[in-house]
Structure formats: structure tokens, C-alpha cells
A and B are shown apart, each in its own frame.
Chain A
Amino acid sequence: QQPVQSPQAVILREGEDAVINCSSSKALYSVHWYRQKHGEAPVFLMILLKGGEQKGHEKISASFNEKKQQSSLYLTASQLSYSGTYFCGTDNSEAAGNKLTFGGGTRVLVKP
């Protein structure tokens, strides 16, 4: 089942913060976050696992909500390089492994 991302798009000024959400109707086992710039490959940002483990870049932070049905990605003190489309990929069970269903994406534009 495809997760729902919100907002669909966000425009912010350099230095501002933003939050991107990824929601599922079922509890998530893991959430993977990627950023894709126009015409380029998606780049891995972070993995969140149900048990609380995290794996990813130091400057990117994300969280699960209590019911593990939503993950939020935090863009703090945004930089111009943060512009791109952010995708979350999810799986609902350990058995799924890293076979992911991706959300529709959130387009982020950071302006000077």
C-alpha cells in the first residue's frame, strides 16, 4: 500500500526549517528516505526501523510517531542543496526486507 506524503510541495528560504511527513494506514516496519534532484538518481538519506534503530546522514533527522504509522523528516536550517524531491519508501513487515513502496514525493525548493 502506497504511503501518503505531505505536503506535496514546500518552498522555503535558506536557513528555514521544514517537516515532511510519510503516513501509512498500517504500522510500518521500516521507513527509508531518499532525495532526488531533477534528472539524477535518488540519493539515500536515512533508514528508520521499528525498533528504534536509525541509519543515515548526521545532518538529517527523522522520527517515527508512537503508533509507527507516520514518519517525519526534518530539514533544519535548510541549505540550497536541500532542494529536490523527497521520497519515503516503506515496508510493513520484517519479511518484506528492503522491498519498498514509495510515496508520491514532496518537492522542496530552497530559495536564497
Chain B
Amino acid sequence: GAVVSQHPSRVICKSGTSVKIECRSLDFQATTMFWYRQFPKKSLMLMATSNEGSKATYEQGVEKDKFLINHASLTLSTLTVTSAHPEDSSFYICSASSGRASYNEQFFGPGTRLTVL
């Protein structure tokens, strides 16, 4: 199957700093990438949809100024958590898809565990 990487896998930062998470599709071109947040033993909560070359679409309740998403190329999307606070601590996971149709599966990255002190 297709491979998606995320970097870093773990990050610990101080409150008030910004953290950038990269999501890369390694062996296919990702027209669309999705960013999720997952709490322990909970489901995947969609934060935003990122399409190459256009602005991301954020889900209701997600602050776009706090969670900056950039999809600069067909293989790279980045999520920047700005002015991070302890409540932003979570497992962030991205997925990538080669298309936007219902029959296009999502390939998930291994996730990034963010801890804000």
C-alpha cells in the first residue's frame, strides 16, 4: 500500500511556542490530505481538509489561526500549532489520498504525539 510519513513522531514544547508537523506521501501524489486529532482510546476527529494549491477547509470549532495548514505540493502538507498550550496536547494524525472521490481511500501517517508543558 501507499506510504505516508509524519515528522516528528513526538514533540515536547513549552507553552506559547509553535510546533510544525509535516505529513508526506512517499510514493504517490496526494491531491488531498486530512488532519485529525485523536484522544486516547477515542475516535479520529477531523480538523481540516487540505487540498494542494488551495486554502484548507476547517471543521466547525477548529481555529484556523491556531492550526495553520499548508499544502504546498502534491506530497507535502504541514500543520503548525501556533502558541501552543497544554490543552493542545494530543495525538495528531494525517492522511493522504490520491483523489477526492468516495472511492479514494485515505492512507494514514503514523501520527505525532504533541505534549505542551
Contact = CB atoms under 8 A, between A and B. Distances in A.
A79 B100 CA distance: 33
B88 to A, nearest CB: 20
B93 A44 contact: no
B42 A47 contact: no
Interface size class of B (residues with CB under 8 A): 20 to 34
A112 B93 CA distance: 31
Contacts of B111: 41
Nearest to B91: A39
B106 to A, nearest CB: 6
Contacts of A41: 4, 93, 108-111
Nearest to B34: A99
Contact of B103 (A42, A49, A89): A49
Task: Give chain B's interface secondary structure class.
Answer: loop
B102 A91 contact: yes
B8 interface: no
A102 B102 contact: no
Interface residues of A, number: 28
Contacts, number: 70
A75 to B, nearest CB: 19
A98 B43 contact: no
A37 to B, nearest CB: 11
B4 A98 contact: no
Contacts of B61: none
Interface of B: 1, 4, 32, 34, 41-46, 49, 93, 95, 97, 99-111
Interface of A: 2, 29-30, 32, 34, 40-44, 47, 49, 53, 55, 87, 89, 91, 94, 96-105
24 contacts: A30-B102, A41-B108, A41-B109, A41-B110, A41-B111, A42-B44, A43-B108, A44-B106, A87-B43, A87-B44, A96-B102, A97-B100, A97-B101, A97-B102, A97-B104, A98-B100, A98-B103, A98-B105, A99-B34, A99-B46, A102-B45, A104-B42, A105-B41, A105-B42
